[in-house]
Amino acid sequence: MSSTAKPLRKLDDLLDSRLMAKLDAIDVVSRKIFSGKVQGERRSKRRGQSIDFADFRPYVHGDDLRFVDWNIFGRLDRLFLKMFLEEEDLSLIIALDTSASMRVGNPDAFDYARKVAMALAYVGLVNQHRVSLVGFSQGQIERASNLRGRRKAADVASWLLRREPAGASGFEEAMRLVGTTRVGRGVMVVLSDFLFHEGFEKGLGMVAGRGFDVYALQVLAPQVVDPSREGGVSGDLLLVDSETQAETEITVTPELLRIYKERLDRLCGSLRAYCTRRDLVHLVVETSTPVETLMLEYLRRRGMLR
């Protein structure tokens, strides 16, 4: 069930100019109120010292006299301070599963996830958000941090094109790293099949409730969702686990396919239920879904983009 698609070699393979132009008109949205450390393009409800006026409040001893409204003082003989909406930055963290199980399916789950990562990063960059990427597999966590501005799109593409899936997931370790070293608050997107031997609960628990809007995008090839589809499996097979190399001999029968689908549905359902309890967003994305449809329709409906 490996991919036969053309290898990704350059930025245009990840994100073509037609879709890029459409993405220029959208932005990343954080559902939570957050506080950043550097001025950016995102407004919070915290009042500060930007150029956008918000309200007045009475002067108290020790306030900065530069923000006194002297026109009101002239009319009322009382001191009032101007209050402003403070401009704050948004962090967009994209975590990409680089374990061997992602190199499955047609279209390939790993290449599809890289295209989605590129599209999301591009939206963040053109809106002057702080973009970071994390690639994770067992024993190997690679990062590209604090990228900002349209010109960094080439750096993101170069980073994504250098990644190659291998080994087991290392998901828990990667989420622990993100949860303990993050800068600012905002949106985090995990692109993975979530087919982890160790489970997903501990990993997601490392980033849940820590100031991020977390989106778990479960990327699955059509043949993984339903092995009986065209190009799927049949007959007597020797299955080799791409991550552990464990071997299992099977004979594909309708009953075996039914059991497989039930177990996959149970896994997806438990991930969805976990995300709902923790105020995370879960979305199953088949790799046959056009990236444009995912970005401009599905993720808009889920509130990540506008």
Largest Cα separation within the chain, whole Å, is 91
Based on the fold, state whether residues 245 and 140 are members of the same structural domain.
yes
Q: Answer yes or no: are the C-beta atoms of 95 and 178 closer than 8 Å.
A: yes
Based on the fold, state whether residues 104 and 75 are members of the same structural domain.
no
Based on the fold, state whether residues 18 and 77 are members of the same structural domain.
no
Based on the fold, state whether residues 187 and 123 are members of the same structural domain.
yes
pLDDT score, position 301: 94
Based on the fold, state whether residues 61 and 29 are members of the same structural domain.
no
Rounded CA separation 302/306 (Å): 10
* Both tokens assigned to 26: 């959208």
Q: 6 lies in a domain?
A: no
Based on the fold, state whether residues 279 and 195 are members of the same structural domain.
yes
Q: Answer yes or no: are the C-beta atoms of 142 and 135 closer than 8 Å.
A: yes
Helix, coil or strand: residue 151:
helix
Rounded CA separation 93/95 (Å): 6
pLDDT score, position 35: 42
Q: 28 lies in a domain?
A: yes
Q: Give the CB-side neighbour count of residue 152, counting CA atoms within 13 A.
A: 21
Cα distances (Å, whole numbers) of residue 189 to 94, 96, 135, 217, 304? 5, 8, 12, 7, 10
Based on the fold, state whether residues 47 and 150 are members of the same structural domain.
no
Residue 95 pairs with which residues in a beta bridge?
Answer: 134, 190
Which residues are CB-contacts of 86 (< 8 A; sequence separation ≥ 6)?
39, 43, 44, 46, 47, 48, 49, 50
Please work out, in degrees rounded to the nearest 5, the angle formed at the alpha carbon of residue 140 by the alpha carbons of 217 and 242: 65
Based on the fold, state whether residues 161 and 232 are members of the same structural domain.
yes
CATH of the domain at 165: 3.40.50.410
User: How many domains, in total, are found in the chain?
Assistant: 2
pLDDT score, position 96: 97
Based on the fold, state whether residues 61 and 201 are members of the same structural domain.
no
pLDDT score, position 198: 85
pLDDT by 10s per residue, the chain, length 306: 555 578 899 999 999 999 999 999 999 998 764 444 444 444 444 444 444 555 667 776 666 677 788 888 888 888 877 765 444 579 999 999 999 999 988 899 999 999 999 999 999 999 999 999 999 998 789 999 999 999 999 999 999 999 999 888 889 999 998 888 765 679 999 999 999 988 999 999 999 988 889 999 999 999 899 887 755 666 766 555 556 666 677 677 888 888 889 999 999 999 999 999 999 999 999 999 999 999 999 999 999 999
pLDDT score, position 63: 67
Based on the fold, state whether residues 220 and 144 are members of the same structural domain.
yes
Q: 119 lies in a domain?
A: yes
Q: 306 lies in a domain?
A: no
Residue 60: domain span: 42-88
Respond yes or no on whether the N-terminal peptide bond of residue 290 is cis (omega within 30° of 0): no
Rounded CA separation 102/221 (Å): 9
For residue 271, report the phi and psi dihedrals to the nearest 5 degrees: -65, -40
Based on the fold, state whether residues 79 and 176 are members of the same structural domain.
no
Q: 2 lies in a domain?
A: no
In terms of pTM, does the model score above 0.75?
A: yes
Based on the fold, state whether residues 129 and 171 are members of the same structural domain.
yes
